[in-house]
Amino acid sequence: MNDISPPRKRRNAGRVTLNDVARQVGVSALTVSRFFNHPERVSQALRQRIGEAVSALGYVPNLMAGSLASARSRIVGMVIPNISGPIFADTIQAFSDTLARHGHQLLLASSYFSLEQEENAVRTFLGWSPAALVVTSHFHSESTEKILAEAEIPVVETWDYQPGRAPIQVGFLHYDVGVMAARHLLDKGYRRIAFVLNSAVGDFSALERRAGYGDTLQAAGLESWSFAPSAECVPFEAGKQAMESLMKEARPPDAIIFANDNLAAGGLLTARRMGLRVPDDCAVMGFGDYAFSGMLLPALSTIRPPARLIGEIAALRVLESLSVIPSTTPLQRLNRLECELVEREST
């Protein structure tokens, strides 16, 4: 009697595997593996035949298995405050494209400026044994810092530049942006310059920009002051609120620096509705150079961050760290990029 119950395959029975290809060609699975990872170590003849078998069978390498075995993946995790805002999308796009060009994939999560959400994302990503991790700014929770330090993979911080930290930095000094904005307005002759903070809580970078503004005004012997909109507001409304409130003061400002272009747009349109002339009655300055900024009336003066460049360079640094591409000698841990002053009609 044939009592040997057939060794039932338990799970993923359908999938074409490395072994199937190997059997088809008549070589060992290992050779097929090499065909993908080190083609130069496989003889020309075999390469040809394996290539044919692969496409004939429609074999797709199981990256899970490969990553498990080699303890490294071609996934790079990125945590960024948001995707749909006008400012980070370019960074994500450039980052993703550069990564893809070199066979790596982007795992994406947004933090909404929340340190806690960032930590969650980092923790989850780590479960995927990512090849590298990219975060935004140098503001993290203590646990996140610890996790990143112990991760033993390349870590890149974007949209910021902070010498003295372990991770690779790709960005700029927000403090300098504040200085740049203040200097521009001082040069133009404005003297009562206010700063409007972001309504999004957790945007610590905006605080650094304000610090740059504050110090510059102080150095010029001028008074600095800032307005903090209600936290519930969407940025556009917050800008409106700021403009109305500031212009009602006993001694209103003759220029306002907004933490970003959304706020500035709200302020700009509100000023016009209030019958104020911009920039004659009050100059307006933003940050970000969003798509609409040049189309406003008057066109908004602002500071343009190198959003795409940040994404691209961050990706290159990651790939260099992984030795996927040759390192630009030496691997610079600090990549200071420049923001550009875009002077238009509102100042």
- Of 41, 12, 57, 47, which Cα lies nearest the Cα of 27? 47
**Candidates 27-35, 41-49, 246-254, 285-293; binding stretch for a second copy (CB under 8 A):** 285-293
Q: Of these partners, DNA, a second copy, none, which one is at the site of residue 251 (CB under 5 to 8 Å by kind)? A: none
Rounded to a whole number of angstroms, the minimum distance from the CB of residue 65 to DNA is: 3
Type and span of the H or E element at 123? helix 115-126
Q: How far is the CB of 58 from DNA (least distance, A)?
A: 12
| Interacting positions 171-210 with a second copy (CB under 8 A) | none
Contacts of 102 (CB under 8 A, 6+ apart): 319, 324, 325
17 sits near a second copy (criterion: CB under 8 A):
no
What are the residues whose beta carbons fall under 8 Å from the beta carbon of 243, sequence distance 6 or more?
Answer: 256, 266, 267, 268, 270, 271, 274
| In the complex, least distance from residue 48 CB atom to DNA, rounded to whole angstroms | 11
- Show Cβ contacts of residue 340 under 8 Å, excluding neighbours closer than 6 positions: 289, 303, 304, 306
CB of 3 to a second copy, least distance (A): 30
Q: Decide if residue 127 touches a second copy (CB under 8 A).
A: yes
Query: Residue 176 in contact with residue 163, Cβ under 8 Å?
Result: no
Task: Kindly list the residues in this chain that would bind DNA in the complex (CB under 7 A).
Answer: 7-13, 15, 17-19, 27-31, 33-34, 36-37, 40-43, 45-46, 59, 61-62, 65-66, 68-71
From the CB of 121, what's the least distance to a second copy, in Å?
A: 8
CA angle 85, 91, 94 (to 5 degrees): 135
Examine residue 299 and tell whether it contacts a second copy (CB under 8 A): no
Q: Is 142 in the site for a second copy (CB under 8 A)?
A: no
Element (H, E) at 229: none
CB of 42 to DNA, least distance (A): 4
Q: Are strands 105-110 and 75-80 parallel, antiparallel or unpaired?
A: parallel
Could you tell which of a second copy, DNA, none binds residue 34, using a CB distance below 5 to 8 A set by kind?
Answer: DNA
User: Each residue of 297-328: b (16+ CB within 10 Å) or e?
Assistant: ebbbbbbbbbbbbbbbbbbbbbbbbbeeeeee
Residue 334 touches which of DNA, a second copy, none (CB < 5 to 8 A by kind)? none
The site partner of 107 among DNA, a second copy, none (C-beta below 5 to 8 Å per kind) is a second copy
Task: Count the residues of the shown chain that bind a second copy, applying the rule CB under 8 A.
Answer: 50
Give the one residue of 219, 295, 331, 334 binding a second copy; rule: CB under 8 A.
295
Cβ distance to DNA smaller for residue 43 or 230: 43
* Residue 96 within binding range of a second copy, rule CB under 8 A: yes
CA pair distance 68, 213, nearest whole angstrom: 50
Task: Give the span between the Cα atoms of 125 and 42, in whole angstroms.
Answer: 34
How many CA within 13 A on the CB side of residue 22? Answer: 14
In the complex, least distance from residue 345 CB atom to a second copy, rounded to whole angstroms: 13
CB of 22 to DNA, least distance (A): 7
CA 26 – CA 49 distance, rounded (Å): 10
Stretch that binds a second copy, among 123-131, 192-200, 224-232, 318-326 (CB under 8 A): 123-131
| Out of 29, 46, 107, 115, the residue judged to bind a second copy by CB under 8 A | 107
Which are the contacts of 230, defined by CB distance < 8 A and separation ≥ 6? 199, 238, 241
Span of 20-28, 108-116, 161-169, 217-225 interacting with a second copy by CB under 8 A: 108-116
Tokens of 11: 């799970």
Report whether 252 contacts 271 (CB < 8 A): no
Q: How far apart are CA 317 and CA 331, in angstroms?
A: 8
- For a second copy, the binding residues (CB under 8 A) are 11-12, 14, 60-65, 67-68, 70-71, 73, 75, 82-86, 89-90, 92-93, 96-97, 100, 105-110, 121, 123-129, 152, 265, 269, 290-292, 295-297
